[in-house]
Amino acid sequence: MAWNEPGGGGRDPWGGGRSDQGPPDLDEVFRRLSQRLGGLFGGRRGGARVGGGRGGGGWLVGIAVAVWLLSGIYIVGPAERGVVLRFGKYVATTMPGPHWHWPYPIERVEKVDVDRIRQAEHKALMLTRDENIVDVDVGVQYRVQDPKAYLFHVRNPELTVVQAVESAIREVVGKSEMDFVLTQGRTEVAARTQRLAQSILDRYGTGVQLTKVNLKDAQPPEEVQAAFADAIKAREDEQRYKNEAEAYANEIIPKARGRAARQIEDANAYKAEVVARAKGETARFLALLREYQRAPRVTRERLYIDAMEHVFGNATKVVVDVERGSPLLYIPLDRLMGQAGRTPPDNATGGSPAPAEKPAMRRRAPAGGRFRDLRRREIRR
């Protein structure tokens, strides 16, 4: 029969034979415990006062209880969160600062650093969408977001994070081409892996937040690295040739456009010149036609004389065959003498050039006047 059951004879050591069935008061329990422990050290039972020389045992018990209660004071750091457990069950999460809890074995506190960045790595061979094998080395950084979930929802949070990241990157690599993973797609692969792994961790309720996923290295297997290196070099050469061709095109095209524009301007100028000259000649011809219509004979003679002056103006020797007459040789002495006067002097002796002496000759009639007379005599005949 239990001590606190009816008919137990009042043998309940804690209740002292009380009749109520409610939960005991902790202060009353500690007070009774102190009294009984004091009795063990020489005091009297039933709560009697302890004698003078034998009362030191009660004070020692009180001091021990006070020390035990003070041991429940704890301080949570600025980067920490305190998780209070009562008999192993979650009670509350405390913020930074001083706090108190029931000492061990009633309650205990687990402190979790929520600002520290934790790291994990994983390396494995993975299969791409085009059925190639890639050796991937991925690193992940994370921190604790929910201390309660971090402590109670998963047994090994670090291993859970690694497995979630591995599952995510296998899915991302399996949906990507090998060239994309090894070259320009590393940043995108890491970003997609982080989003997918974070969703997996949220479904598990780990209380972990991924801060960064870094694709540290991605290489083909050692057996095909040489061939893959050649392929990469060929791709780089292709890109280099494209860049050189674009640079040459950017250099030569402006020059060609400049030359084309200059030729167009020259053609337009030549066109304007030819059109203006043709209009001028047309106007002169029309004016001459009007004059010819008014005086045909005079106009023909004037045209003939003008043509002969233009021809003989640049000639040095002219022979004219006059019908029924001896040929007449005309030598333009005035032109020849002018050319002789412009002959460079002989500077061999170092003296100053002697002035050219012009022969005394009488003034002759100009060539135009002579031929005009010849033409008139020919017309009279």
User: Does residue 176 sit in the same domain as residue 125?
Assistant: yes
In a domain? residue 381: yes
Rounded-to-integer distance, Cα 12 and Cα 175, Å = 72
144 exposed, middle or buried (CB, 10 Å; 0-12, 13-18, 19+)? buried
For residue 81, the model assigns a pLDDT of 82
User: CB of 218 within 8 A of CB of 168?
Assistant: no
User: Does residue 188 sit in the same domain as residue 253?
Assistant: no
For residue 358, the model assigns a pLDDT of 42
Max Cα-Cα span within the chain? 188
User: Does residue 49 sit in the same domain as residue 139?
Assistant: no
User: Does residue 212 sit in the same domain as residue 125?
Assistant: yes
For residue 372, the model assigns a pLDDT of 53
300's CB contacts (< 8 A; 6+ apart) are: 292
In a domain? residue 314: yes
In a domain? residue 320: yes
Q: What is the CATH number of the domain that holds 176?
A: 3.30.479.30
User: Does residue 165 sit in the same domain as residue 188?
Assistant: yes
What backbone phi and psi angles, to 5 degrees, belong to 114? -100, -5
Token look-up 């090998």 returns: 178
Domain with 278 in it: 232-294
User: Does residue 282 sit in the same domain as residue 323?
Assistant: no
User: Does residue 125 sit in the same domain as residue 216?
Assistant: yes
Domain termination site, one of 85, 113, 141: 113
User: Does residue 326 sit in the same domain as residue 290?
Assistant: no
In a domain? residue 358: no
Q: What is the pLDDT along the chain (381 residues), one digit of tens a residue?
A: 344 444 444 444 444 444 444 445 556 656 666 666 555 444 444 444 444 444 556 788 888 888 888 877 877 878 788 888 888 888 888 888 888 888 888 888 888 888 888 989 888 888 888 888 888 889 999 999 888 888 888 888 889 999 999 999 999 998 888 888 887 888 899 999 999 999 999 998 888 989 999 888 888 877 777 777 787 788 888 989 999 999 999 999 999 999 999 999 999 999 999 999 999 999 988 988 888 888 888 888 888 888 888 877 776 665 666 665 555 555 566 666 665 555 555 444 444 444 444 443 334 444 445 555 555 555 444
In a domain? residue 166: yes
Question: How many structural domains is the chain composed of?
Answer: 5
User: CB of 136 within 8 A of CB of 126?
Assistant: yes
User: Does residue 210 sit in the same domain as residue 133?
Assistant: yes
Nearest to 171 by CA among 130, 203, 126, 139: 126
In a domain? residue 323: yes
Please name the residue ranges forming H helices in the chain.
Answer: 26-40, 56-70, 147-152, 157-174, 178-182, 186-204, 225-294, 296-312, 333-341, 367-380
For residue 12, the model assigns a pLDDT of 46
In a domain? residue 266: yes
- Sheet with strand 133-144: strands edge to edge: 118-127, 133-144, 208-219
Which tokens go with 335? 């032109």
Domain termination site, one of 37, 54, 70: 70
For residue 34, the model assigns a pLDDT of 62
Which tokens go with 124? 């494995």
User: Does residue 108 sit in the same domain as residue 126?
Assistant: no
132's CB contacts (< 8 A; 6+ apart) are: 178, 220
In a domain? residue 12: no
For residue 325, the model assigns a pLDDT of 56
User: Does residue 127 sit in the same domain as residue 55?
Assistant: no
User: Does residue 185 sit in the same domain as residue 137?
Assistant: yes
Domain termination site, one of 61, 89, 113: 113
Distances in whole angstroms, Cα of residue 240 to Cα of each of 108, 196, 246, 349: 66, 36, 10, 72
83's CB contacts (< 8 A; 6+ apart) are: 90, 93, 94, 109, 110, 111, 112, 147, 148, 151
Quote the distance between the C-alpha of residue 362 and its chain's center: 94
